[in-house]
Each structure stands twice: as structure tokens, then as C-alpha cells.
Amino acid sequence: MELSVLNISGAETGRKINLSDDIFGIEPNQHAVYLDVKHFLAAQRQGTHKAKERNEIHGSTRKLHRQKGTGGSRKGSIKNPLYRHGGRVFGPVPRDYDFKLNKKVKQLARKSALTYKAQDSAIKVLENFNFASPKTKAYIDMLSKLALSNKKTLLVLPEHTPNVYLSGRNIPKTKITTVDSVNTYDIMNADALILCEGAVAKIQQLFVNE
């Protein structure tokens, strides 16, 4: 697949770049994408929820009334889960939601996600760029000239570029990452994928060797 390389003004530079079919043109595996997205979202969960069980409730353990002869049910403690302010039965406890996902499944998921974006013509390639200083307006102007103002975008840089990152981090629907940190969820969550020219070369070198 061949794409034109654009500059930050949205104009073609006259150069073209070839996207490897081994990464951007595979047979996509939807289930692998599902598993990797599920794995990513599970890892984001804090898992700090907690409810007190009856052994943790502050209260008397005195038996409320005698066992038999009242005509009512048996009641052993005010901390009974059936009472208001009683302990909860099998309530949530702190836990880790992360789970193991095989490395090859994650690799297949990322390639599948990139293939989906290529099939949807949702990839733009920019020449390597930087801003003289962090300016949100400059980043907004760039998105406007690329006709991506109202879309969720993911910009993938070959390496961390502070001025670019600081310029776009507060813009809604915008995320900036590097090749080393790109993941399936971010790719699938974006309406448009913006790849820097250097990032394409790095992706193809990194992913083909996986």
C-alpha cells in the first residue's frame, strides 16, 4: 500500500511511502483485537473497591432474642447481612483485573488494528516535524489543514518530542504516542491514525522482526 507523504499544512511533499503488507495488509483477526483491547482495559482498572463483611462491621454480637418461641425467625447478631448496616455477603474486595495474554496474540492484534485502519483509508503519513515551542494553536491548525478537526486522532511519533506532545495533550479527542507505546486500543479507538514518516519506518522494522 502506497501513501503520499504530507506536511503539517496538509500539502503533498511529492514523496510517497510504502506500507508493508506484512503489517498493514494482513488478514485481520477480530478476536485477537478483542482480547488485546479487553486486556488493555482490564489493566487500567484500579480494583480498589471494598465492602465490609459481617466480621468487619462494628457492632454487638449479642443474640437479639431467644432462639425459639417468638414466632419469628432466628437472629444471631445485629451484624447479620439482612439488617440495615449489616455486613455484606460476598461483597467486592480489592483485586487485580489484569490477565495473561500471549505475546503473539498481542502482536497479531496490533497488526490487525493497523490493517483495519488501512482498509478504511484512515491513515495519513506526515513528514517528520517539530514545533519551535509548545503551542496548542499550532497543533489545532495542523489538524484543521488535515481535515481532522472533529475526529478522534492518534498521532504516532518515532520518538518523544516534547514540543509536539505539550501542544496537543489538552486537545479533546487527540492522543499523541510513540512507536514503542502504541497499542491496539488506541489504534482502534481513533477515527484517524496519523503516522510520522520516521514512525512508519520504525513500526515496520519493529513489527516485522516480532
For the segment 41-64, the average pLDDT, to the nearest whole number, is 92
Report how far residue 149's alpha carbon sits from residue 170's, in angstroms, rounded to the nearest whole number.
Answer: 14
Express each pLDDT in 150-191 by its tens digit: 899 999 999 999 999 999 999 999 999 999 999 999 999 999
3 state SS for 31-100 = HHHHHHHHHHHHHHCCCCCCCCCCCCCCCCCCCCCCCCCCCCCCCCCCCCCCCCCCCCCCCCCCCCCCCC
Place 42 in a pLDDT band, splitting at 50, 70 and 90: very high
**How does pLDDT run across 60-118, given as a tens digit for each residue?**
889 989 999 999 888 889 999 988 899 999 999 999 999 999 999 999 999 999 999 99
| pLDDT value of residue 209 | 62
pLDDT of residue 109: 96
Predicted local distance difference test score (pLDDT) of residue 210: 59
Q: What is the H or E stretch that residue 136 is in? A: helix 136-145
Supply the pLDDT for residue 204: 87
Contact call for residues 114 and 21 (beta carbons, < 8 A): no
- Look at residue 205 in the predicted model and tell me its pLDDT: 86
Q: How many CB atoms lie within 10 A of CB 112?
A: 23
More confident residue, 64 or 34: 34
Q: Which pLDDT does position 30 carry in this prediction?
A: 96
Q: What is the Cα–Cα distance from 113 to 26, expressed in whole angstroms?
A: 10
Give the pLDDT of residue 37.
97
pLDDT of residue 32: 97
The structural domains of the chain, ordered by start, are 2-45+98-208 (3.40.1370.10), 47-96 (no CATH)
Q: What is the mean pLDDT of the chain?
A: 93
